[in-house]
Amino acid sequence: MDVCDAPIDPTAAPPPDRVAEPDGYVVVLERTERIHFLDWGGPGGDGAPGVLLVHGLSNTAWSWTPVARRIRALGHTVAMDLRGHGLSDAPTDGYQPDSLAEDVVAVAEGSGLLARPDDRIVLAGHGFGAIVAAWAAAVLGDRCAGLVLVDGGWEDLAASTGQEPEEFARGLDEPPEVLRSIGAYLADREAFDPATWDADQERAARATVVETHAGHVVPSIRPHALARSVEAMFAYRPGVVLPSVEAPIVALVAADDEDGTKSWALATAQRALDAAGRPPIRVALFPADAHNLMRYRPAEVAAAILALRSRS
């Protein structure tokens, strides 16, 4: 595994803009689906790539807020809601790799990130969003200036888990006591790491659930959208997709690798890139942090994105 030459320097990212608020927009695809995105603004028109952020499974664009508050100081920054998530439409179809990549490209173009033929973007995705970002990067070719995989996007889930998509999806169910009220749900999310819990984290958490008339909460993602999204995750073949990405790739790896699955998956992906004559993935390890690195390590995630942006 090729590890970054040095740990990512969190001071390379600007401090967060605590007062910035994004504008919400939608792009309408030819099939009439509407894909929602948050435009955090930021300087553009200088020829440097903008940044498009893609959230993980059952999450929304708000999960990127701690990172977006930092990178918007240096470049136009957009975070999207994947189809079936957040304020995007939740059709019964369109969760295949080409459709999900098309959604990303549509947001990049509709937001103005790729307004001109010579515009380029850095794509960053978290978990499932890293998979979608990889598909989109492959489609964009040289219009993608860099790809940041945040704790995902290098693993063949079918091979590493030995599960079927339905079994994997069942493992995502929340305990009933967590869903008994919005207060219980927020308390559970805060307990993940009280030191990083703030108004942005609460807003991101609230966006993932809907409160019922009885006072309970249910996931905001529709069951069919969750099932189709998980099927898409299991269809992902990093050994095929990543070597087809022309841009440099950085992987940010969180903890939870006691069985060596992540290391094995990364090594397998690295061999595929090597066989294709592509540069290796540069890897930064965060062994003390959980999956949501945007919450626990926002400065480092921002710095990794900005480093790829500055290389272009």
pTM: 0.96
Residue 182 is encoded by which pair of tokens? Answer: 């919005």
What confidence tier does 4 reach under pLDDT thresholds 50, 70, 90? very low
Domain boundaries, the chain: 10-169+223-310
Q: What is the CATH number of domain 10-169+223-310?
A: 3.40.50.1820
pLDDT in tens, 67-112: 999 999 999 999 999 999 999 999 999 999 999 999 999 999 999 9
pLDDT at 46: 77
Query: Quick check: 206 and 196 in contact, CB under 8 A?
Result: no
- Non-local CB neighbours of 289 within 8 Å, separated by 6+ positions: 254, 255, 296, 297
Helix ranges (DSSP H) in the chain = 65-71, 97-110, 128-140, 157-161, 165-170, 182-191, 199-206, 223-235, 238-241, 261-275, 293-296, 298-310
Maximum Cα–Cα distance across the chain: 58
On the question of pLDDT at 1 being above 70, the answer is no
Evaluate the CA torsion angle 37, 14, 292, 145 in order and state its sign: positive
On the question of pLDDT at 35 being above 50, the answer is yes
On the question of pLDDT at 185 being above 80, the answer is yes
What confidence tier does 255 reach under pLDDT thresholds 50, 70, 90? confident
pLDDT at 5: 47
pLDDT in tens, 260-296: 888 899 999 999 999 999 999 999 999 899 999 999 9
Query: What is the Cα–Cα distance from 74 to 10, expressed in whole angstroms?
Result: 15
In this structure, what is the dihedral angle of CA atoms 58, 195, 309, 252, given to the nearest 10 degrees? -70
Please state the rounded mean pLDDT for residues 20-36: 95
